[in-house]
Structure 1
């Protein structure tokens, strides 16, 4: 993707498999939003090949759109509508395209139960709390039972409790409906919790692709075993943390007193945050 002479995306190449939850991470301005808009069919690419559910989104029709769900980062319209009323209205559009391959939309009451808004069914949307509004955003995004769901910064502005509830809701959705999810977020803990795979973008290029554990292992094959004994702090890098820990205890004997002399024992592996920061710094230092 180019804007004039500026290249926003360059050689970006990845697949998302059916049933996966994939998180896309990036520093600001690395091309994430442009990528998502191309995949959703909202932005024309400058070159290259894109296939979403077997169709080029740049030329997709309404039946293709009926198979895709979107939860935008911010959506604050329809304030005077009532919750159930809006879900029934939006679901009516999807019902037009129901076929043996494209399921009928959710029944509004079932959907309200799924997202935890049954008590707010008759409430005006403008009176919902932030967490309730985000649940409604998700309900609107999945009312058509999409095969593929795009979540753009879904928990921006959430407190920890609301974020945890939203994560549980997404897991229930993917487990129950077998939907594929492409998630964009700046929250590394969120990506680690929700995603089967993580894509890391920097400078419009893909610099990391794998599960959170795979990426961490790729960046740091060794774990660190840390412990204290007799007032001293020890750190030991190892490829075999379990075996080393067993040997550590064997070294100090088997009595309760000997074992208790080893304090503050922990095994630390590279986190997704470590991996993310390392890959981005490497790109910034070395360039494409």
Structure 2
């Protein structure tokens, strides 16, 4: 759970590190206008452990070796990336040096708003967990929820001052664009909580906000079993069935209408006509259903 909610924060790096990039091989760009893209791509590959040497980064991105070397040197100068031990190979010549996120690199804070509690995690950019804290709900209002979030963030910042951003993962329904928890069922009657704005105003840091299931899907894509997949569907089963979709290398926001269509499709294990809006994710649904049947 801590790793999943931390990914809300990890995704927040896209503003400074351009973290949301296409992971297909050969999509690195050498043009001067793509500097940020290339730096974001290189850092993401290092932080997620997808590539850990300069030669692997060059092969994966299609960038020239000199370009990769220059970007890594810049990261090392800024204290974001470090060199570790050599990777032992049977090939003649110098062994490549392993690259990892530096110990002194900025950290991130993740907040998870659940039905019965609110949790916080402090972690590194490569998802090493340093501290977690939880506040169980008694009575709850929107103001109490925000104050609980402040208390947890303050506890995390007591341990680490160098914070790059804060991520919030919340039960839904949510207004992702405006960072508002709308009206979750069985949530003490709390509704319309502008939690993103409140946290951004108090701490003056980049804040990312999303549905908790989207954050879980992002965790699987960057660090988990979805890492090598172009398309996948995550179904979260708790008080209901909620899908999160990653199709053709991008995430789709799940509307309530689409959610109902997907759930009904998932429960119907047979060939059937699919609404036009669900056509793009049908291949994911089919894969899930056939794996269950066979």
TM-score over 0.5 (shorter chain): no
Structure whose alpha-carbon radius of gyration is higher: 1
